[in-house]
Chain A
Amino acid sequence: MNTTDQILTKPAGDAATRQGDAGGNSEPAVAVKDLHKSFGSQRVLNGVSLSVPQGQTLAILGRSGTGKSVTLRIIIGLEKPDSGSVQIQSEDITGLTIDELSDVRKSMGFLFQHAALYDSLNVEQNVAFPLVHHKRDMSKAEQRERVMELLGDVGMEKHSQKMPADLSGGMQKRVGLARALVLDPKILLLDEPTAGLDPISSAEIDELVLKLQQEHQMASIVVTHDLHSAKTIANRLALLDKGEVVIEGTFDELEKSEIPFVKDFLKHS
């Protein structure tokens, strides 16, 4: 059985088993409290509170349009909440200016749903982008070495000179993941890392995230529709509906829940 098969057949209890692997009782790396957000008359978040300790992974699940991605964008400061607070490493970031936010963002990596690679830069330049802007003391050779090391980690070192338009969706996600990791972040945010990918590519991305997560001991938040992926890579899961957290816990706790929405969601996943 190869690695991909192993992941596809991983037992359901894995997420629960890994709970508390690292830093379970420490100060949360990410803590959002009572987030409210509306776009015009449409209320998207209605009091979302979540926290993730260092070294653990939280998967946010839910139907489309329930505010999962918005929560992630608020955490990294791309959207401003109407009310509520976001704490990164115990620092409240909701009141920071864009340049003050930059200091916090250096400790965070973000993988966008469609990878959001810079289409005028090749793969190597895309991954090097944060280094070029934040590690000006690094020589070009050191930057290249770091970039190639990460591209090797995600299996893209042979494609370093390709342009994003020449890559498949899965390859773009890998490059996006390498770019998210290049500054060695303490917090990793992943927006639908397996969306639009075939089952094998999805499993490969899951495997990669899990491996990197274990190597770097980051606090991670993964937004996904894919329950299997969530079960594979996350310690805990939070289920959102209509802008609220319906339930948060391990996969086993979700399975045992008597809340009709939770049962319905698990049944159709």
Chain B
Amino acid sequence: MTRQENAGLSIQPIPQGAQDSLPVELEAPSGNPISEFLAWFGNLGIFFWQVVRAAVTPPFEFAEFFRQMDEIGSKSLPLVALAGAATGIVLSMEARYSLTRFGAKSLLPAAIVFSVIHETGPIITGLVVSGRVGAGIGAELASMKVTEQIDAIEASAVNPYRLLAATRILACIAMLPLLTLAADACGVVAGWFAQALAEPLSFHQFINSGFKGADFNDFLPPTFKTAVFGSIIGLIACYQGMSTKGGAAGVGRAATSSVVLSSLFVILADVVLVKIILIFFP
């Protein structure tokens, strides 16, 4: 067939629904940070919709989901536990100094316990996981993207949104509250340990005094808000990884931006969630 014959063919419009077949990418004029941010946010929303659609339709990738739970949960546990313990010790030392000055030393166990389970445990877990897991997911998926492995998955008739993104995001959502429990426990125990070193106090007394007056409203909402942190970390890291462009530089950018953006949005979400928790669980 010659070039001239080709030119004679009529242009056929893309059939209805073609827009659903592949993710649409919004493009912003470069150099305008507001437009670029809005385009990024719009693309993130489209990506989120693709993942939700893939996650709720079979076949379900249970094996990959459990593998990711291990990867994200078990392997983050030592770091989260250490960060929680360090926070408990620092809180104990700082609170002891402040409360002694104001003659409220007896409130020290409660101050440590409430600080840890209400705020420091959840936020420390969110930030530690966004650093470790966000960078890991971002770099792994970006590397797969630039080496056409994600295209190869799609060409093998496997939905990469289901296999790669949905499993990682759901694993983050499932594991963050469990990791928060570990951070809380380590924080409380380490807080007691630091307190006991300064002034002998049994663990039983510390716990009794610390949890006096506490109920499930003090414990459950702050713990489960980290599921939102998990969804933010998983979504942003998967999006940054799967939408990366360029070679090694693109992989580096995806890893860095995954950590920076997921940490930023975890902190912003925390502000909103704390206000919501205070309204609904006063």
Contact = CB atoms under 8 A, between A and B. Distances in A.
B183 to A, nearest CB: 29
Interface string A22-42: 000000000001101000100
B6 A118 contact: no
Interface string B3-37: 10011011111111110111000010000000000
Given A112-B152, A118-B152, A245 B21 contact: no
Max count, chain B CB within 10 A of own CB: residue among A83, A103, A116, A118: A116
A228 interface: no
A188 B159 CA distance: 20
A192 interface: no
B3 A98 contact: no
A116 B147 contact: yes
A169 interface: no
Given A102-B159, A105-B154, A179-B156, 11 more contacts: A47-B6, A47-B7, A80-B18, A98-B54, A112-B151, A114-B147, A116-B147, A116-B151, A134-B157, A246-B2, A247-B2
A110 B158 contact: no
B268 interface: no
B208 interface: no
Contacts of B154: 77-78, 98, 105
Interface residues of B, number: 39
A12 interface: no
A47 B12 CA distance: 10
B202 interface: no
A114 B148 contact: yes
Contacts of A136: 59
Interface in A155-189: 179, 183
Contact of B17 (A77, A82, A95, A105): A95
B100 interface: no
Contacts of A247: 1-3
B6 A101 contact: no
A118 to B, nearest CB: 6
A49 to B, nearest CB: 6
B147 A99 contact: no
A40 B156 CA distance: 28
A112 B154 CA distance: 12
Contacts of A84: 11-12
A118 B149 contact: yes
A117 B148 CA distance: 9
A83 B21 contact: no
Interface string B201-241: 00000000000000000000000000000000000000000
A9 interface: no
11 contacts: A83-B14, A95-B17, A98-B20, A98-B22, A98-B50, A106-B157, A118-B149, A119-B143, A134-B157, A244-B3, A246-B3
Nearest to B160: A98
A108 B154 CA distance: 11
B155 interface: yes
Contacts of A77: 21-22, 154
A101 to B, nearest CB: 6
Contact of A94 (B11, B15, B57, B151): B15
